[in-house]
A and B are shown apart, each in its own frame.
Chain A
């Protein structure tokens, strides 16, 4: 079974600073996908970034980038130039790479509550 661990329940940083959220996972699979989701106070989960395990290049989306270390099973999220709107819960999630539908499901971590301080 896959597990996802987010060891930082809460973090806070000053606006415009850079912050890194950590995520580690455990799996015996070689082909899988990793996600970071953001859940602002409005409660809607929003996909932030996605990484395919077979890709060596780290995914980036504007101010958001990941540091994917496959051997270490680590998938951290870096937010550059943080903004007040980045305040939210951030969830790391894992999905296996099996092709038959029904066996693929997102396994989530417990989340990190990030607060951006003005």
Chain B
């Protein structure tokens, strides 16, 4: 495995379900990100983790709960989502804690909430 991987690639869930998205980076990076990509809207940064510590939360609803157990893995736990949460969820990673490191993206999880 190389780069940034995400599972599952596609997910359909009901509003009462609980599911988790997984991201894994094989680049030795120290920072990881969750983005939401909706149609015709700019990518929205949801969460940033640096060295497993959350450093940014852009006022994301509590029905999205991130978890970063180590610098290689990032999860997004989902519960009681709404149909408007249907989107492509992208994970990214970058090298360091400072400077403007390039972010490397995973292939995304296409989420549909019914």
Contacts and interface: CB of A to CB of B under 8 A. Distances in A.
B27 to A, nearest CB: 13
B105 A45 contact: yes
Contact of B42 (A42, A46, A109): A109
A47 B42 contact: no
A56 B77 CA distance: 44
Interface in A25-66: 32-33, 35, 37, 42-47, 50, 52
A108 B92 CA distance: 14
Nearest to A42: B107
Interface string B33-57: 0000000111101001010000110
Interface string B48-90: 1010000110000000000000000000000000000000101
Given A45-B90, A45-B92, A105 B105 contact: no
Interface string A83-109: 000000001000111011110111111
B108 A91 contact: no
A96 B41 CA distance: 21
Given A43-B88, A45-B105, A95-B100, A108 B43 contact: yes
A22 interface: no
Could you say which interface size class chain B belongs to?
20 to 34
A110 interface: yes
Contact of B106 (A44, A91, A107): A44
B103 interface: yes
16 contacts: A4-B42, A44-B105, A44-B107, A45-B90, A45-B105, A46-B105, A91-B43, A99-B99, A100-B98, A101-B31, A101-B97, A102-B55, A106-B45, A106-B103, A109-B42, A110-B42
Interface of A: 4, 32-33, 35, 37, 42-47, 50, 52, 91, 95-97, 99-102, 104-111
